[in-house]
Structures are given as structure tokens and as C-alpha cells.
């Protein structure tokens, strides 16, 4: 499916449905120890965070495996500076633009675990088992992670492009505020209660609200999103 893919933000030529095997294979190829120079999030500058080594179940000190996905980074570093988040989101949205407008496909399973990241904050998108060709934008069945699913996607027969946009919004939210497994983005009542601190960049807040527009008929497509001030 990705034979003609020419994006530096994706791991090319992956069309395999055994996700566990293929993901491990890709991470081993791309994985790089995530050691950012920024003092705010550098684990080497924080007491108690031994980045080069970890202890296994037997309390034995082992060399840390040379690999990271965005979920692991977010768990370790808790929060990211706005400049880093902006750089990550620009790459993610550029990739979605390429998928939707040039390849004519939807990814279908955008989530932190499917975004690899290196020490320069450069990302690679993996796991294309849920990818679909766009046929009037409609996808019959959702097959991604529920936390990142658009509300309408759980009901079936939804627009895969808008589901990717929503999933990117969830990624954005988790990068801004940290990982919280109790979040329920697809619940309208809960969604209306999501709090956004005043300390967050105004452009970031506006983009987040656009990506997580609950009513899919009002949620913008990638072409409009790419013109947003936060991404320009």
C-alpha cells in the first residue's frame, strides 16, 4: 500500500498485519536513545532518572535498549517545552497532509505508540495495518485505539480523514498536559469539562479545540489545519 510513499516522516513499505512482529522490527531499525539537550526535559539533569541503565524484574542493572516511541518519551519526561511540541505536531500534521491529499489514504491508528522519535525530536510514523484508501472519505469499521478514536468512529461508517484529525488532537493534548489514562475524549459530557490552563499558548489552545471538535461536521480537514498559525 505504501510502495509509492515518499515521506521522511514514515517508515516506508510496511504492509503487514502482524503488528507485534513488524513494530519490534521497525523500532530496532530506527530506535535511537532519546537524550534531548533541553535542560527542562533532559533526564540526565534530573535526580533519580538513570537514562543509560534500567533495572529488570530481578533488580539487575541492564543497559537500556536503544529505542523510543512517543508514549515512552511522554511517560519519562512528563511535559515538553512548547517549541518541542510544536515541532512534533508540525511533522505529524505534515504527514497527515501527505497521506490525505497525495496518497489518498487514511492512517486509521494515530497514537503515541505509533510515533517513533529520536534525540533530535524527529518522528517516524509506523503501523499501517488500519490504513484505508479514501473512498468518499468513508470507513465502515474503526480498528484503532479507543482513546484516540473520534466519537463518530466508534459508531462506524465515519470519515477516516476526520478521525485522523481527532487522533492527532488527542496526541496534542497528551503532549501538552501529560498522559492520563482516565481521559474519555469520546464522551461529550466529559469532553465539555476538559480544562485547559491559561498558561498554554493561545495558538496551541485554538488548534487543540479545532482538532478535538466534537461535532465532526464542524471539524476541519487537514488542508485547513495546515494554515493554522501554530503550524505556520
Whether residue 51 has pLDDT greater than 50: no
Q: What pLDDT shows up at residue 132?
A: 85
Q: What pLDDT shows up at residue 49?
A: 30
Q: What pLDDT shows up at residue 170?
A: 93
Q: Which of 59-63, 100-104, 119-123 has the lowest mean pLDDT?
A: 59-63
Alpha helices, DSSP H only, in the chain?
19-30, 70-77, 82-97, 160-177, 188-191, 202-211, 222-225
Q: What pLDDT shows up at residue 182?
A: 66
Give the closest residue to 30 by CA, choosing from 56, 55, 11: 11
Residue partners of 11: CB distance under 8 A and separation at least 6: 26, 29, 30, 116, 124, 125, 126
Rounded (to 5) percent helix, strand, coil in the chain:
40, 10, 50
Domains identified in the chain and CATH numbers: 31-36+66-231 (1.10.510.10)
Average pLDDT score over residue span 219-226: 98
Average pLDDT score over residue span 149-178: 91
Active site residues per annotation? 109
For helices 82-97 and 202-211, the axis angle rounded to 10 degrees is: 40
- Enter the C-alpha cell of residue 145: 485505539
Residue 29: pLDDT band (50, 70, 90) is very low
Amino acid at each position: 500500500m505504501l510502495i509509492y510513499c515518499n515521506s521522511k516522516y514514515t517508515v516506508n513499505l510496511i504492509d503487514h498485519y502482524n503488528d507485534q512482529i513488524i513494530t519490534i522490527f521497525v523500532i530496532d531499525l530506527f530506535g535511537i536513545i532519546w537524550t534531548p539537550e533541553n535542560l527542562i526535559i533532559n533526564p540526565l539533569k534530573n535526580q533519580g532518572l538513570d537514562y543509560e541503565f534500567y533495572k529488570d524484574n530481578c533488580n539487575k542493572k541492564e543497559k537500556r535498549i536503544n529505542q523510543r516511541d512517543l508514549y515512552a518519551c511522554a511517560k519519562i519526561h512528563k511535559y515538553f517545552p512548547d517549541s518541542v511540541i510544536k515541532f512534533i505536531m508540525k511533522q505529524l500534521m505534515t504527514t497527515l497532509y501527505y497521506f490525505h491529499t497525495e496518497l489518498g489514504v487514511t492512517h486509521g491508528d494515530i497514537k503515541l505508540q505509533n510515533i517513533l522519535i529520536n534525540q533530535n525530536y524527529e518522528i517516524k510514523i509506523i503501523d499501517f495495518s488500519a490504513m484505508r484508501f479514501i473512498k468518499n472519505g468513508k470507513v465502515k469499521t474503526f480498528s484503532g485505539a479507543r482513546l484516540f478514536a473520534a466519537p463518530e468512529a466508534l459508531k462506524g461508517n465515519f470519515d477516516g480523514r476526520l478521525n485522523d484529525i481527532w487522533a492527532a488532537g488527542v496526541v496534542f493534548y497528551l503532549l501538552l498536559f501529560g498522559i492520563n489514562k482516565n481521559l474519555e475524549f469520546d464522551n461529550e459530557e466529559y469532553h465539555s469539562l476538559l480544562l485547559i490552563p491559561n498558561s498554554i499558548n493561545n495558538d496551541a489552545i485554538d488548534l487543540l479545540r479545532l482538532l478535538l471538535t466534537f461535532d465532526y461536521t464542524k471539524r476541519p480537514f487537514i488542508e485547513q489545519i495546515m494554515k493554522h498559525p501554530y503550524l505556520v
